[in-house]
Amino acid sequence: MQPSQKMGMESNEPLTPAGRLFVQPATELVINCVLGIDQSVGLETVHSVVSNSLIVKHPRFTSLLVTDKHGRERWKRVDIELDRHIIFVPDPVNDDNSDDDDEVAVNDYLANLTVSCPLSTDKPLWEMHVLDAHKCVVIRFHHALGDGVSLLSLLLTTCRRVSDGEKVPTVETTSSAVRNSREGAGICGWLKMMWLTLVYMVEFCMTCLWVRDKETVVRGGAGVELWPRKLATAKFSLDDMKTVKSAVVNATINDILFGVISSGLSRYLENHSTKPLREGLQITGAAMVNLRKSSGLQETTELMNKNSGSRWGNKFGMMLLPVYYHARGSDPLQYVKRAKIMIDNKKLSLEAFLSYKIGYFIMKCLGARFASLLNYRIICNTTFTISNLVGPKERIMIAGIPVTYIRATSSSLAHAITMHMVSYAGKADMQILVAKDIIPHPEILAKYFEDALLEMKEAALAAKLPAKCPQNSG
């Protein structure tokens, strides 16, 4: 039996509808995952790790993207040549700017990849850049191969825990938050769900066609995906997020994240806008929502099972998640409370599920080009992209070398801001990819996000302090 059949996939099979969407010129996407490592690693070690991993046995990673005589894209199995996929860069990538630290240099390298370096179609659609001088590995996957959950789950099969070198990393398998929000709903809950679904789907369709965000200093538009990029990293502590979470009843990490984004964008608009701002100005984000039965990373064997509800591939819907400009007030937690109300309503609706199903229907009936056009219009009519992926809870290592961070970003979109957050071992790093002609200093925006979380943490701690009783006199 061929490896592809053992892993639940056949060779020479057609692309899925979602896969066909991601190979269209307007919506083609490459995922760039960065693993920081504790020390430099040689080319031989990289070859050894990859050649002994599931990556070289996986049908998607050993297949060419080809077009048959009917014009349909298919996967064609080939013998893989590792030397064509592993790019070893021994020297610093910013020789002309020796004052840059590793993070700045790596982010500059990634920013260049996101707009000017598509993956070659004469080999399987992935590659690995080893930046030896900066102690990191950049792994690039075409989105047609799978989504972030699939790809990171596969990647972690090559890793082991630092605390126990024999055990694979712990993966999060909590129930889907979208599904949980509807469980136990009575008649009133179901009526509310149907009403919210109707409202949000009408808004979704209107955004597809003509409704767009107001012009601001952070909004992109058609053609912006071709503009040069800059990349900055916002770093958060999950303990800080949990402290804020405990101060807002039934809040989630996603509520905290959107509160932080709302606060940070409000501060950026306030400090950099050249026109007066209206209180409550809407800034809409396009969020990718995992539709698998579990919200976190999956076991790879489960993902490869065709009968599994957590199957391999691209299985996500889209939600339009608006945040609003608000001048800074006395309570930073108000940003979280407003975000929580919005997200709770969104999770109660069927917006993400229906966006997936409608997209699938359009792909099947009207073709990939039309579906790509609609997706491109949604991006052009909104302001930012956001995704949040839960990574390993404990520290991990590859070939005995500890991993210091996990970050991810994608190729450029018509948005001027694209944000991808990945949590790992108590920390969360958010990559902020921007069109540098619109947002020339993304590090300022990253600082606003970090400061917003710290302000919320201080407010949460202050709210827990008991009120001081006046002392008796005499």
**pLDDT class for 168, splitting at 50, 70, 90?**
confident
Among 129, 143, 415, 420, the one annotated catalytic = 143
Pairing of strands 384-390, 417-424: parallel
- Does residue 179 register a pLDDT over 60? no
Alpha carbons 446 and 424: distance in angstroms, whole number: 18
The pLDDT value recorded for residue 123 is 94
Alpha carbons 350 and 305: distance in angstroms, whole number: 26
Which of 294 and 224 is assigned the larger pLDDT?
Answer: 224
The reply to whether 143 belongs to the active site is yes
> Tens of pLDDT along 279-291?
999 999 999 888 8
Alpha carbons 170 and 280: distance in angstroms, whole number: 41
Alpha carbons 14 and 68: distance in angstroms, whole number: 9
- Does residue 171 register a pLDDT over 70? no
**Residue type at 426?**
G
CB 159 within 8 A of CB 168: yes
**pLDDT class for 467, splitting at 50, 70, 90?**
low
Phi-psi region of 425 (alpha: psi -120 to 50; beta: other; left: phi over 0): left
Residue from 427, 426, 466, 432 nearest 446 by CA: 432
Which of 7 and 59 is assigned the larger pLDDT?
Answer: 59
Which of 181 and 348 is assigned the larger pLDDT?
Answer: 348
- Does residue 466 register a pLDDT over 80? no
- Does residue 360 register a pLDDT over 50? yes
**What's the mean pLDDT when you consider all of the chain?**
87
Alpha carbons 304 and 58: distance in angstroms, whole number: 9
**pLDDT class for 100, splitting at 50, 70, 90?**
low
Choice among 4-13, 27-36, 266-275, 350-359 with the minimum mean pLDDT: 4-13
- Which helix (H) or strand (E) element contains residue 156? none
pTM: 0.90
Structural domains of the chain in order of their starting residue, each with its CATH number = 3-161 (3.30.559.10), 177-389+414-463 (3.30.559.10)
The pLDDT value recorded for residue 155 is 86
The pLDDT value recorded for residue 311 is 60
- Does residue 5 register a pLDDT over 50? no
Alpha carbons 39 and 445: distance in angstroms, whole number: 30
- Does residue 20 register a pLDDT over 50? yes
The pLDDT value recorded for residue 104 is 94
**pLDDT class for 470, splitting at 50, 70, 90?**
low
**pLDDT class for 474, splitting at 50, 70, 90?**
very low
Backbone angles phi, psi at 405, to 5 degrees: -160, 160
The pLDDT value recorded for residue 154 is 86
The pLDDT value recorded for residue 316 is 81
- Does residue 61 register a pLDDT over 60? yes
CB 227 within 8 A of CB 435: yes
The pLDDT value recorded for residue 2 is 44
> Tens of pLDDT along 435-445?
999 999 999 99
Choice among 133-137, 181-185, 421-425 with the minimum mean pLDDT: 181-185
Averaged pLDDT for residues 95-114 = 82
**pLDDT class for 294, splitting at 50, 70, 90?**
low
Q: Across 147-151, 254-258, 314-318, which has the greatest mean pLDDT? A: 254-258
The pLDDT value recorded for residue 225 is 94
**pLDDT class for 298, splitting at 50, 70, 90?**
very low
Choice among 34-38, 92-96, 128-132 with the minimum mean pLDDT: 92-96
